Amino acid sequence: MTSAGRIFSGVQPTGNLHLGNYLGAIKNWVELQTDFDCIYCVVDLHAITVPQEPVNLRRSIREVTACLIASGIDPSRSVLFNQSRVPQHAELAWVFNCVARLGWLNRMTQFKEKAGMNKENATVGLYAYPTLMAADILCYKATHVPVGEDQKQHLELTRDIALAFNSMFDVDFFPQPEPQIQKTASRVMSLRDGTSKMSKSDTSDATRINLTDSVDDIAQKIKRAKTDPEALPSEAEGLADRPEARNLVRIFSGLSGRTESHILAEFGGQGFGVFKPALAELVVDVISPISQKMNQLLAEPDEIDKLLASGAEQAYAITGPVLEDVKKIIGLTPP
């Protein structure tokens, strides 16, 4: 165990991971393994808040696990498992359903986006999704949570729930977990619309780069990415009203580790005919090794299942005692 604190983060197994997941979260997860005690979870119970085909869900749990390992999550250094194998997540979520208030959940913008116009038809699980997320984090008493910008509101709710639990029972039990949000690529946007987020649930595959895309797919998607007719500016301020151009420069920055200013000093004054091929080459350099490794891992699905089972045992060793304490605090079991 390392000393800087405890990291928890999760990703839903609802299809292929994309460049937004990678730059907004997973790249950071990999780096944090050096200094932190890290727990990474494939959140399959979150996935079933919207309908899933059982065959696809089973496949997706393995694929996302393989993708995380291929991206650099090392199961011998970090705890890696799928959520449904560790029952304390759901158990603590129920407790938090009895702490969080309807008014708090009513403010959650992700529910509004996902439920769309037909709220009456959304599952109760989709509505209560953020209390399960709070339970994921707090059943490990995690101190830091690396996520993309879109999860910030859920993290604020998690902090409110921790505080409310502590004050309801007059204890200092749950910590206030800190969100860790990347600066450059906290919100990677769609390749077809610079004002909407790159997302697994977008019906058009052309809007995102999946970590499993072939070299040709990547080149085509970037070539066809929406841009404007102007050349790139020489300074970052020149991107202010150009969401698509800004998104591509930010992706370049996230992947290369170079600042936007540095990139624009090189490409400023040039058109997308020059910038896009350079970006495509960079994306391929990062993604191709990941998809190759992922395919190797998927050739042995039993090995992935064994890793997940072993990760779940390690997770359970932490969450079991935390839930015992929670039950004592609430009065469900003797002190």
Active site residue 197: yes
**By Cβ distance, which residue is nearest to ligand TYM?**
24
Give all strands of the β-sheet with 79-82 in edge-to-edge order. 79-82, 37-42, 6-11, 144-146, 178-180
CA angle 112, 116, 117 (to 5 degrees): 115
Per CB under 6 A, does 187 bind ligand TYM?
A: yes
Cα 269 from Cα 259, distance rounded (Å): 17
Per CB under 6 A, does 136 bind ligand TYM?
A: yes
Footprint of ligand TYM on 240-269 (CB under 6 A): none
Per CB under 6 A, does 148 bind ligand TYM?
A: yes
> Which residue of the set 114, 152, 226, 293 is catalytic?
114
Contact segment (CB under 6 A) with ligand TYM among 148-156, 234-242, 276-284, 290-298 equals 148-156
Footprint of ligand TYM on 31-90 (CB under 6 A): 43, 46
Cα 316 from Cα 82, distance rounded (Å): 11
Q: Which is nearest to 140 in space by CA: 49, 254, 10, 329?
A: 10
> Which residue of the set 141, 152, 200, 276 is catalytic?
200
37 vs 136, beta carbon nearer ligand TYM:
136
Contact segment (CB under 6 A) with ligand TYM among 131-139, 238-246, 282-290, 318-326 equals 131-139
CB of 299 to ligand TYM, least distance (A): 25
CA torsion angle for 298, 302, 304, 308 (degrees, to 10)?
A: 160
Of 6, 9, 44, 253, the residue at the interface with ligand TYM (CB under 6 A) is 9
Handedness of CA 19, 134, 304, 35 (dihedral sign): positive
Contact segment (CB under 6 A) with ligand TYM among 19-27, 232-240, 261-269, 291-299 equals 19-27
Contact segment (CB under 6 A) with ligand TYM among 51-59, 183-191, 217-225, 289-297 equals 183-191
Half-sphere exposure of 244 (CA within 13 A, CB side): 17
H helices of the chain, in order, are 19-21, 27-32, 44-47, 54-71, 88-97, 102-106, 109-115, 124-138, 152-168, 215-224, 243-256, 260-267, 272-298, 301-330
Active site residue 200: yes
CB of 216 to ligand TYM, least distance (A): 23
Cα of 318 vs its chain's centroid, Å: 22
> Which residue of the set 141, 152, 183, 197 is catalytic?
197
CB of 144 to ligand TYM, least distance (A): 10
Task: Enter the tokens of residue 302.
Answer: 């039993």
Per CB under 6 A, does 282 bind ligand TYM?
A: no
Footprint of ligand TYM on 206-245 (CB under 6 A): none
Of 6, 27, 144, 197, the residue at the interface with ligand TYM (CB under 6 A) is 197
Give me the phi and psi of 293, to 5 degrees please.
-65, -40
Of 60, 65, 71, 151, the residue at the interface with ligand TYM (CB under 6 A) is 151
Cα 128 from Cα 140, distance rounded (Å): 20
3-state secondary structure of 138: helix
3-state secondary structure of 39: strand
Give the contacts of 57 (CB within 8 A, at least 6 positions apart).
13, 44, 47, 48
Per CB under 6 A, does 10 bind ligand TYM?
A: yes
**What are the residues binding ligand TYM (CB under 6 A)?**
8-12, 20-21, 24-25, 43, 46, 133, 136-137, 145, 147-148, 150-151, 186-188, 197-198
